[in-house]
A and B are shown apart, each in its own frame.
Chain A
Amino acid sequence: LPTRPVDRDKAERALSENIKKATNAEEIAPKQKHVRNCIIYTWDYHSSQSIWTGLRVQPILNDEVQTFKALILVHKILQEGHPIVLREAQAQMGWFETCARTVGADSMRGYAPLIRAAVQYILQKLRFHRHHKEFNGMFEYEEYISLKNIDNPDEGYETIMDLMNLQDGIEQKQKLVFAHFRGAANNECRISSLVPLVKESYGIYKFLTSMLRAMHRRTDALDALEPLRGRYNTQHFALRRFYYECSNLKFLTTLINVPKLNHDPPNLFDSPDD
């Protein structure tokens, strides 16, 4: 299937090794090289089944750090893996719920609320993708347009509302992560869960900007768009603050470039294409 020089047996063995290493009990960020190999696997074989199986055979749920790392891993695979992952993940609701239920009162290191929030957000994301199959995991506008084949934003009102709900979900989750930093302790593992949130929120933000601009170009009923503009502006300021706080986390800025938003929200009446 893949055009790359690969070997399926070897790939399966490597995959379970990568899952194991990405979700080990060390309280650090899941190593990107292991995450990346899992992502590449889904593109090579257009499947994520072995990943879900792999997550089940590892003793992940016995340990809150491992569970948390598994959810970071899953989030990244949902974002950057082959589109089939978003579909196959729909059948994994039970596993996610088990993750949230299993972390009990003995959450010594304080990951229980973070795990529950992560599960809640992933389920919200999966529901979104179930209803909007044309979106990829990172909400890239270009791919959306090429899939829809036409630049028709008129049907977009509801889609925009759904995207904005998702953006609010990210906002809630990131706030919780920040609230659970531990003073002197090593926050690396918690911080690394912000990486997919930064990327996803920025994807949604750019998507919303393009889509809202297109709608403003097309419609005469500009008043009807007022509620969307208001909410967009609110989200702009929240995101700006989120990115600002992220840019002060030294560990995070060695992992990704954190976007920097202008003080004022972009003018939606402007066409950026000129």
Chain B
Amino acid sequence: MSIQNMSKSAVRVGKNYIKGYTDTQVKVRDATSNDPWGPSGTQMNELAQLSYNQNDFIEMMEIMDKRLNDKGKNWRHVFKTLTVLDYLLHAGSENVVIYFRDNMYVVKTLREFQYIDEGGKDQGANVRQKAKDITNLLQDDSRLRDERRGRTNMRDRMSGTSAP
């Protein structure tokens, strides 16, 4: 971890404290931070489990909504939140599906997200592609059902809870 990243995470810890974010919200903020690595499988899995609790769910949506509407410079916030959202749509509670169907336009309008960094690299392209994929998934009910079912089966098999 570079000094720069270290100080950034230190700032995040401070902000979490000052703004009074809950433990769940801190988890979402960590998973969708500006650090140049993706949210880990463990982080996403934990968030998926938390989404089954109504309180945690609401707290999570609050932060995810903020992150999705962040500005271009923070494209990583947006991109990683979409990554987490994709995971939650597959493995999280049904409420996530309902919430993002209701508010589909938040994701849909990200299909034109723009950000070109100082090096002239089009960082918006990642966001645009992910927003497109998730919009398609949200609009295809039967595919979403299938993928959610497949995910549950796999998890059950791996944890050995289902009959062989």
Interface residues of A, Cβ cutoff 8 Å to B:
2-5, 31-33, 36, 39-40, 43, 80, 82, 142, 195, 254-257
Report whether over half of chain B's contact residues are helix, strand or loop; otherwise say mixed: helix
Q: Which residues 6-52 in B have Cβ within 8 Å of A in the complex?
A: none
Query: From residue B142, how far is it (CB to closest CB) to chain A in Å?
Result: 12
A5 touches B99 (CB 8 A): no
Known contacts A32-B112, A256-B112; A142/B103 CB under 8 A:
no
> Is B113 a contact partner of A5 (Cβ separation < 8 A)?
no
Q: Mark B96-108, 1 if CB is under 8 A from A, else 0.
A: 0001001101101
Contact B103 A3 (CB under 8 A): yes
Partner of B105 from A43, A195, A254 at Cβ < 8 Å:
A43
- Is B94 on the interface with A (CB-CB < 8 A)? no
* Chain A facing B: main interface SS: helix
Contact residue among A33, A43, A195 (Cβ-Cβ distance under 8 Å from B71): A33
Q: Is there contact, CB below 8 Å, between A254 and B116? A: yes
B103–A36 touching, CB < 8 Å: no
Do the beta carbons of A33 and B72 come within 8 Å of each other? Answer: yes
Q: Which residue of A lies closest to B72 (CB)?
A: A33
Q: Which 10 A-B pairs have the closest CB atoms?
A: A43-B105, A36-B109, A5-B62, A32-B114, A32-B112, A3-B102, A39-B109, A4-B65, A254-B122, A4-B103
A33, A195, A255: most-surrounded residue (chain B CB, <10 A) = A33
Interface size on B, as a range, is 20 to 34
Q: Is B144 an interface residue, CB under 8 A from the partner?
A: no
Q: Does B139 contact A (CB under 8 A)?
A: yes
> Which chain A residues border B102 with CB–CB below 8 Å?
3
Q: Judging by beta carbons under 8 Å apart, are B106 and A40 in contact?
A: yes
Q: List 20 A-B contacts (CB under 8 A).
A: A2-B103, A3-B99, A3-B102, A5-B61, A5-B65, A32-B113, A36-B109, A36-B110, A36-B112, A40-B105, A40-B106, A43-B103, A80-B109, A142-B139, A195-B112, A254-B114, A254-B116, A254-B124, A255-B114, A257-B128
> Which residue of chain A has the shortest Cβ distance to B129 in the bound complex?
A257
In the assembled complex, the Cα of A58 lies from the Cα of B103 at a distance in Å of 29
Query: A31: which B residues are within 8 A, CB to CB?
Result: 114
Contact B106 A4 (CB under 8 A): yes
Cβ contacts B47-76/A at 8 Å (1 or 0 each) = 000000000000001100100010110000
Contacts of B128 in A (CB 8 A): 257
- For A32, list chain B residues within 8 Å (CB): 112-114
Known: A2-B103, A39-B109, A254-B122. 10 other contacts (CB 8 A): A3-B103, A4-B106, A36-B112, A40-B105, A43-B105, A80-B105, A82-B105, A195-B112, A254-B124, A257-B128
Which residues of chain A come closer than 8 Å to B110, judged between CB atoms? 36
Q: How far is the CB of B149 from chain A (nearest CB, A)?
A: 22
**B137: shortest Cβ distance to chain A, in Å?**
13
